[in-house]
């Protein structure tokens, strides 16, 4: 099956009314948010509209929204308890065209822009960010290949993902190299027509379910070689002899996503599987973040919106001192602040996505969106728990899961502190260039 269009196969036209969630009717607020935007919310190469989503983007959003509410939300709590990988949801999302949206057309994909993808991701994350992370990990794994792979390599590895629901993974982080990517110890030594990879990776999302990996390894033996020349990126089949997948990590949140350690022991990789040329892997790996951080930020926005909706609904049901708790100014102001966070984080996310779709370097905006949306998600989830009071601390209610799920947004794909380092670096570099 080639994902050339969105389908609603198997879906009814009516919206699901789950007891767990009520959709807050905020169309006016969304319209206001769109009208405030000063850049066109469409991907590069399409007719531009100022201040609104295109019809195609609205179709993707509505499909993802329907899927999240009718399929993901009813199953999210159970997946959180068991930690089981959500294959049934992944396959349904694949059938709807909600996965692998970045894949180029020559590989059978839809070649959607980053803004299109953020629109989808926010809705999936609204349902469950564990499911969203499992899906988004595919985009991160694919992006180096999309950026630097030749067409033959792209067709081989990306093409298969449009034919059946396969996953991939981004293998960069190591026990001694998280934010300090330059500290990577995994080595790749060239021997004839192959490279031999040895080393260990950790915190690899989709580690045990991936069909193939993007692997960043050191190819320079010179310890003083700068990171920009010391590493090479490889595409590695997951069934290659010498690869050992570790145990599933039981994390604080997003428990249905698959997080593993991966060990490479004398793993042979053909030279044809090198991305770009030897020595440019670091630039490729970091360049992928400019394209994937906006969707990660969108996931945080989706979680924050879910927290806001749950808190709003509860505040209209719970009474204290003879009136609904939303009538107490303390609670009303919390809801207002949550709303401000959701709307402004969405704007920052859309801006960062639009910049990259226009072919411009978006490192600055991507880091702002990622850092800000992550903070908004954590505050919104914590405030939702506070509004729920004692019930918020109980697993029978959805907001404690949101609070656990939110934390990772301040850690993966670049910590909150790393984003601020990037933002300040970009800011000062621009200021110096104007002096």
- Please say whether the beta carbons of 280 and 131 come within 8 A: no
Residue 376 has a pLDDT of 99
Q: Are 214 and 170 in contact (CB under 8 A)?
A: yes
Structure letter (DSSP) for residue 223: T
pLDDT the model gives residue 12: 38
The predicted pLDDT at position 163 comes to 96
Q: Are 303 and 136 in contact (CB under 8 A)?
A: no
DSSP for residue 212: E
- The reported pLDDT for the residue numbered 213 is 99
pLDDT at 196: 99
- Active-site annotation holder among 136, 343, 400, 413: 413
- Active-site residue, 56 included: no
The residues of the chain scoring below 70 in pLDDT are 1-51
Q: Is 107 left (phi over 0), alpha (psi -120 to 50) or beta?
A: alpha
Length of the chain: 435
- Spatial neighbors of 366 by CB under 8 A, at least 6 apart, are 289, 290, 293, 294, 297, 352, 355, 356
- Tell me what pLDDT residue 5 has: 38
d(CA 80, CA 15): 24
Residue ranges of domains in the chain, CATH in brackets = 27-163 (1.10.540.10), 168-282 (2.40.110.10), 288-433 (1.20.140.10)
Find all residues with CB under 8 Å of 320, minimum gap 6, and list them. 328
318 Cα distance to chain centroid: 34
């Amino acid at each position: 099956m080639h994902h050339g269009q969105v389908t609603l196969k198997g879906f009814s036209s009516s919206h699901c009314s789950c007891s767990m969630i009520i959709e807050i009717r905020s169309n006016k607020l969304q319209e206001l948010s769109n009208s405030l935007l000063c850049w066109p919310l469409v991907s590069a190469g399409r007719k531009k509209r100022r201040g609104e989503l295109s019809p195609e983007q609205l179709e993707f959003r509505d499909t993802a929204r329907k899927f999240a509410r009718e399929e993901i939300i009813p199953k999210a709590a159970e997946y959180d308890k068991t930690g089981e990988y959500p294959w049934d949801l992944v396959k349904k999302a694949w059938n709807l065209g909600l996965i692998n949206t970045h894949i180029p057309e020559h590989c059978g994909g839809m070649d959607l822009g980053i803004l299109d993808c953020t629109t989808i991701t926010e809705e999936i994350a609204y349902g469950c960010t564990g499911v969203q992370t499992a899906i988004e990990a595919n985009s991160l794994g694919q992006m180096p290949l999309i950026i630097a792979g030749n067409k033959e390599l792209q067709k081989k590895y990306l093409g298969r993902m449009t034919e059946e629901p396969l996953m991939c993974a981004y293998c960069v982080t190591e026990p001694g190299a998280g934010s300090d990517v330059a500290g990577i110890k995994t080595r790749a030594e060239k021997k004839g027509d192959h490279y031999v990879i040895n080393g260990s990776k950790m915190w690899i999302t989709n580690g045990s379910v991936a069909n193939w990996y993007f692997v960043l390894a050191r190819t320079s033996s010179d310890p003083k070689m700068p990171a920009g020349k010391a590493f090479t990126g490889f595409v590695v089949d997951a069934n290659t002899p010498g690869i050992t997948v570790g145990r599933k990590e039981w994390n604080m949140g997003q428990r249905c996503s698959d997080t593993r350690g991966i060990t490479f022991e004398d793993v042979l990789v053909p030279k044809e599987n090198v991305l770009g040329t030897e020595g440019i892997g670091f630039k490729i790996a970091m360049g992928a973040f400019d394209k994937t951080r906006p969707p990660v930020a969108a996931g945080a926005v989706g979680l924050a919106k879910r927290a806001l909706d749950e808190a709003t609904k509860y505040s209209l049901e719970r009474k204290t001192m003879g009136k609904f708790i939303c009538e107490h100014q303390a609670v009303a102001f919390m809801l207002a602040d949550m709303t401000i966070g959701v709307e402004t984080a969405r704007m920052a996310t859309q801006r960062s996505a639009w910049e990259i779709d226009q072919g411009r370097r978006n490192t600055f905006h991507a880091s702002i969106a990622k850092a800000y949306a992550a903070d908004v998600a954590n505050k919104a989830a914590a405030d939702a728990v506070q509004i729920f009071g004692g019930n918020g601390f109980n697993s029978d209610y959805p907001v404690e899961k949101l609070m656990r799920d939110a934390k990772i947004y301040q850690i993966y794909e670049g910590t909150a502190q790393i984003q601020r380092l990037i933002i300040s670096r970009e800011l000062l570099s621009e200021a110096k260039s104007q002096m």
